Structure 1
């Protein structure tokens, strides 16, 4: 007797929008982009439909986002994914031309407005790995590997890429983003032709910075004007400097870093070596020169900031998820600039929504780092929910949902420190890669040693007077004086004599004379030296004053601070205007260039008076008898007033 196998029919019950709006969904991601939000964006951008169509504008928005979920499929196949789970619904079956017309009818404005709504920080203040002290760490960087179809309209907008061995096959798009390093969520984005530099697009994102943020960036953002604009937003920054920039030190700090000025901005420079020992015995070393607006070395030690700088690489991981995991390295679909703009905003919106779901999932388990959430698992779970039309309106799991359950069930292990050589994986790369000594395969790192450098101090005056007995938290390695310090010392030995850049280069044993001419001209523009005639330079005001006119400065007590010691020298000759190089010997200062910058800063603060170019006296309101230093108070037993305390 044969028994009939038992069978059952499972019909999943789904909740979607009614009628022609039913295909407009993204599965579990719809909770982050609800129908009301999409309708409000369409109404705000003026693209709301005037009559009910078979393909409404709201459905078109979700269709554009679904194109990013399935970049390997055509329009018809992506539409079939949206309607596959609509059991019992009579969904339309549009042609590919109708779907293209739907894209043209929407335009790029709704997708850009939708991204502006969802973009922003995702992590909570207590989420691990997202903050440094009280600062939320963010990062700037650009990506130039987004390829577009090679058609005439795209070439007219983006140009044709020039590679090392010839012309490239596809025009490329430059994308600039500002991300939150801990969650890798997007705070803002800008894109366009590569003919405009990264600084141009970064300025469009400065409005996204907030006073509680610390911006990280690489050497491509070593622009004095851009750094000043970042500081004007109220945010802090930690940026790597190029090897060609040389800055005169204003004050030395006990941890080996020093204060200087970039334009009108006081910054702190950290020079350090990072030495990594790998598991296979390989030892790697690389030098870093960082500039930051975090000036307090007690609260922010130099070694801690050097270690923090590696968080900048989180933006590279975000670009990998966006370019390779989500887009699968494919060329964009659109054949005109408006279509590319629409597609890019949709892709960025989809990426941000996926990151939002990932951060919400890991924050449901306190103490879980967002790095442990897999972007690939979140993407595959979102695709499955779109096909099944699940959790569009009925999500019983609250904030987590099906995508969150999949993420928490397959959390990645704790990130291990590792390193590998950077390789170009395209046959005709625009970069000439050379072997950098790193292992070819990913190798674990056993230990990392950070050694902070300092300029070689010629006298004890280089030590900060605010900390007479510093105790450095890490070893300090001294380096020889820079070119500017050597040049100023040489010019001081020949006062009043003009020197050409070529003669200076020969005297300082500089090999590349042409590049040294450019550097000397920059020193003159920055006010470190003076240009007398075409190609001739002297120290500031060396030709205007003879050495015999300089009075002898008084003996200054070494316990006084630098500003107090300067006051003592200035009040010793009330009718004389002092130059910084005349005051420096009394204070034991050999770096005249940095002291000249410091006195100019005091003059801008109103603590001393600038009588003429490069010459200073006391402030007129502060009469000479009323200026009393703390050292003189001890000898005269004068009481300490509230004004003195301030």
Structure 2
């Protein structure tokens, strides 16, 4: 049965416009202008729906995921008029006009805008986002269901199933988040058949020596670990229990030094990477955890502290929940019907999520409270009804 998107009220409240202004204020108009220039899309003449407007529109699609395309555009246009912005914009278009404008925008601009805007948020004073000298980062993958269109199925593929075929094509996504603030700072995507480790290698350039990357055992393989070491970041990966690591030197904190080899090179003992292995079990549980790290000196990071730190990796699941069940309605697909617009919409979700998380981080700094005490969906609801002052980027 076809679903009908809900409409917004015909009479907007002032707080609706001010909320919109605050949410989009994180993505500055200067950043958008720079992204347009990088992509060779700098505006030479303004259409009814200029590219600047459409970039903000794509972000708004995720903020109002239960509202029809035309209603989201009406909200944006009337908000701009109420705020007396100078960005040229015309009348509300139908679905066809909106689709053509989104195709002109493309996906590359949204990707560049995401890369320019979405950086780690926490300052060194925000100790909840750091372990000693390292900024805590986590990496993991997930999937997004897409509309059942032939173009999406051909490009992204369908997940396998035991009988028949699956209902919807799926996109595979791997992201890196800042653990303390839940901000998504790097992301990559591809067809469903593409593995998380393959995608994760594309995120390695976003690491540096100031970071400590935490990853689950799905990433605990030699090729990815060895390549991640070239970034000079500290690494803390869980590994499978059937992987063999010989104890070369026992350390004072109960961990031991070993060498991580790739495949057949383990027999020849060549081209390995020295690691520190930490093994432990949780109280009352039988499952054994095994971690490896390239922090080889126990005094820099004791084994018990790294064991406690590893479980911070699950914070990334909260970020995925916010994307898939709060910004996007639970159980629904992305809206776009072609691969180019799917990718465009995906980066719109990233920018919207980063916007909300930025505002939450500022609230944490102002009120001196634990960031875990704030609710993501609660923050969105508060912004929609109680904001009393704001600035919108196009000045």
Class of the TM-score when normalised by the shorter of the 2 chains: 0.7 to 0.9
1:193 Cα offset (Å): 1.1
Q: Residue 483 of structure 1 aligns with which residue?
A: none
Note if contact 1:14-1:391 (Cα within 8 Å) is conserved in structure 2. no
* 1:1-16 paired onto structure 2 within 5 Å: none
Offset of residue 258 of structure 1? 1.0
**How far apart, CA to CA, are the structure 1 residues paired with 2:178 and 2:133?**
14
Is this contact kept in 2: 1:27–1:389, CA < 8 A?
A: no
Q: Secondary structure at the match of 2:97?
A: helix
| Deviation digits for residues 305-331 of structure 1 (CA, Å, limit 9, x no counterpart) | 111110000101110011111112320
Classify the secondary structure of the residue corresponding to 2:59: helix
Q: Deviations over 1:488-519 (max 9, x none)?
A: xxxxxxxxxxxxxxxxxxxxxxxxxxxxxxxx
Mapping for residues 135-284 of structure 1, pairs under 5 Å? 135-144=134-143, 146-164=144-162, 166-263=164-261, 264-275=272-283, 283-284=284-285
For 1:562, the equivalent position in structure 2 comes to: none
Alignment of 1:612-631 (within 5 A): none
Match of 2:350 in 1: 348
Matches within 5 A, 1:113-124: 113-124=112-123
State the alpha-carbon separation in 2 of the partners of residues 389 and 98 from structure 1. 33
SS of aligned partner of 2:367: coil
Q: Equivalent residue for 2:296?
A: 295
After superposition, what is the alpha-carbon deviation per residue over 1:37-65, rounded to whole angstroms, capped at 9, x for unaligned? 22222222122332222222111111111
Question: Structure 2: 5+ residue runs without aligned partners?
Answer: 1-11, 262-271
Residue 134 of structure 1, CA deviation: 1.2
- For 1:56-86, what per-residue CA distance to the aligned partner results, in whole angstroms no more than 9, with x for missing partners? 2111111111111111122111122224444
Deviations 1:178-230 (A, max 9, x none): 11111111120001112121111111000011101111001101111211111
What's the CA shift string for 1:72-120, capped at 9, x where partnerless? Answer: 1221111222244445989622222111111011101111111011122
Report the Cα offset of residue 155 of structure 1.
0.9
Give the drift of 1:141. Answer: 0.5
SS at match of 1:298: coil
Quick check: 1:158–1:172 contact (8 Å CA) kept in 2?
yes
Distance 2:33 2:23 in 1: 16
Task: Select 1:76's aligned residue among 57, 70, 79.
Answer: 70
Say whether the 8 Å CA contact 2:16–2:385 is kept in structure 1: no
Q: Following the alignment from structure 1 to structure 2, what is the Cα–Cα distance between the partners of residues 213 and 55?
A: 41
1:316 and 1:129 map into 2 onto residues whose CA distance is 18
Q: How does 1:68-107 map to 2 (within 5 A)?
A: 68-85=62-79, 86-87=81-82, 92-107=91-106
Separation in 2 of the partners of 1:197 and 1:94? Answer: 40
CA distance in structure 2 between the aligned counterparts of 1:107 and 1:389, rounded to whole angstroms: 34
- Closer, same or farther in 2 for the Cα pair 1:215/1:150, shift >3 Å? same
Per-residue CA distance 1:270-328 (angstroms, 9 max, x = gap)? 111112xxxxxxx4442101111122223322221111110000101110011111112
- 2:3 corresponds to which residue? none
| Distance of 2:128 and 2:148 partners within structure 1 | 41
Secondary structure of the structure 2 residue equivalent to 1:39: helix
Mapped pair 1:335 → 2:337: yes
Residues 342, 220 of structure 1: alpha-carbon distance in 2 compared, 3 angstrom cutoff: same
Q: Structure 2 matches for 1:48-59, cutoff 5 A?
A: 48-59=42-53
**C-alpha contact (below 8 Å) 1:222/1:240 kept by paired residues:** yes
2:38 counterpart residue number: 44
Q: How does 1:413-492 map to 2 (within 5 A)?
A: none
In 2, the alpha carbon distance for the partners of 1:215 and 1:346 equals 25
User: Normalising by structure 2, what TM-score?
Assistant: 0.86
User: 362, 365, 380: which is aligned to 1:363?
Assistant: 365
Secondary structure at 1:261's aligned position in 2? strand
Moved more, 211-220 or 252-261: 252-261
Name the counterpart of 1:642. Answer: none
Question: Which structure has greater helix proportion?
Answer: 2
- Residue of structure 2 equivalent to 1:317: 318
Give the equivalent residue in structure 2 for 1:501: none
Q: Looking at both structures, which has the greater relative contact order when contacts are Cα pairs under 8 Å and sequence separation is at least 6? A: 2
Structure with greater Cα Rg: 1
For 1:544, the equivalent position in structure 2 comes to: none
Distance 1:91 1:389 in 2: 27
**Contact 1:326–1:379 under 8 Å retained in 2:** no
C-alpha distance 94-341 of structure 1, shift in aligned 2 (>3 A): same
| Counterpart position of 1:19 | none
> Match of 2:128, SS?
coil
Cα gap change, 1:246 to 1:42, in 2 (>3 Å): same
Structure 1: stretches of 5+ with no match in the other structure: 1-9, 17-24, 276-282, 395-646
SS of residue paired to 2:237: strand
> In structure 2, how many angstroms separate the alpha carbons of the residues matched to 1:257 and 1:88?
60
| 1:137 to 1:323, Cα distance in 2 relative to 1, 3 A | same
Q: Secondary structure at the match of 1:54?
A: coil
Structure 2 Cα separation of the partners of residues 102 and 155 of structure 1: 23
Quote the Cα distance in structure 2 between the aligned partners of 1:50 and 1:91.
Answer: 16
Give the conservation status (yes or no) of the 8 Å contact 2:220–2:238: yes
SS at match of 2:171: strand
- Please state how far the C-alpha of 1:170 moved relative to its aligned partner: 0.8
